[in-house]
């Protein structure tokens, strides 16, 4: 079970543009318990809970789609989901 997963929006040079206030681990700990999680959410399931995972600009739309689909199942962490929604806007 992960303790902390940060979400950062970086430019091409690695400079942090924005950082989410949400602890994404709260969401992922719940998500990993979902039935068929790896099959149904391949992008989210590829997040390394113990290291860094980087998604490029072309992959973020797939990740966002999965976050939108999973939102209804992540009941305990609605505040964290709302904080993620505001990232990059």
Mean pLDDT calculated for residue range 41-60: 87
**For 51-73, what is each residue's pLDDT tens digit?**
888 888 888 889 889 988 888 77
3-state secondary structure the chain: CCCCCCCEEECCCCCEEEECCCCHHHHHHHHCCCCCHHHHCHHHHCCCCCCCCCCCCCCHHHHHHHHHHHHHHCCCCHHHHHHHHCCCC
| Arithmetic mean of pLDDT over the chain | 81
What is the pLDDT at residue 10?
Answer: 85
What is the pLDDT at residue 57?
Answer: 82
What is the pLDDT at residue 6?
Answer: 83
Mean pLDDT calculated for residue range 18-30: 82
* Parallel/antiparallel/unpaired status of strands 8-10 and 16-19: antiparallel
What is the pLDDT at residue 7?
Answer: 82
What is the pLDDT at residue 81?
Answer: 57
What is the pLDDT at residue 53?
Answer: 86
Whether 19 and 84 have beta carbons less than 8 Å apart is answered as no
């Amino acid at each position: 079970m992960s303790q902390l997963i940060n979400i950062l929006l970086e430019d091409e040079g690695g400079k942090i543009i924005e950082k989410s206030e949400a602890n994404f681990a709260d969401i992922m700990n719940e998500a990993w318990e979902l039935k068929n999680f790896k099959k149904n959410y391949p992008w989210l399931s590829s997040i390394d809970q113990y290291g860094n995972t980087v998604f490029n600009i072309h992959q973020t739309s797939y990740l966002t789609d999965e976050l939108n689909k999973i939102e209804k199942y992540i009941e305990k962490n609605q505040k964290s989901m709302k904080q993620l929604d505001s990232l990059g806007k």
